Structure 1
Amino acid sequence: MYKNYNDYPDILNVSDIQQLLGIGRKQAYELVHSGEFNVTRIGTRIKVSKRILLKWIEGGN
């Protein structure tokens, strides 16, 4: 388990987002499907840039 934001990889998966935000699996999937920020799909995998997610958290677009 990561201790702070800097410990997380630059490219996050849904379980990383779950841990980082302290939310459940269902909420994490709802968030990545919400269109609030750009996600990349590689096959069935969903990847999110840590930089993009943190910017979204801080209220940036």
Structure 2
Amino acid sequence: MKRMAYEDYSDVPNAEQLAALLGISRASAYQLMNRADFPTLHIGKRKLAPKDKVLAWVDRQTMP
């Protein structure tokens, strides 16, 4: 997936979009989305990751 500006990503990206947003593989995005401490939204069988919650999660993971 081509890199886009932050604002161009969906507010609730799926795993493929999350991978592009974070610069990780799709497999790594799925692994993140299956973690208990990672913010996901379940709609039916779909897992989505609210962009604002993901970025807050990343901030909490960052070492000072």
Runs of 4+ in 1 over 2 A off after TM superposition: none
Match of 1:21 in 2: 22
- Structure 1 gaps of 5+ residues are none
- Structure 1 position 8 matched with structure 2 position 23: no
Deviation of 1:52 (Å): 0.2
- Counterparts of 1:33-48 in structure 2 under 5 Å? 33-48=34-49
| Equivalent residue letter for 1:48 | A
Q: CA RMSD in A?
A: 1.6
CA displacement at 1:49 relative to structure 2? 0.7
The aligned residue for residue 60 of structure 2 is 59
Aligned-pair distance for 1:23? 1.1
More strand per residue: 1 or 2? 1
Gaps of 5+ in 2: none
Taking structure 2 as the reference length, the TM-score comes to: 0.77
Letter in 2 for 1:50: K
Deviation, structure 1 residue 3? 2.0
State the identity %: 33
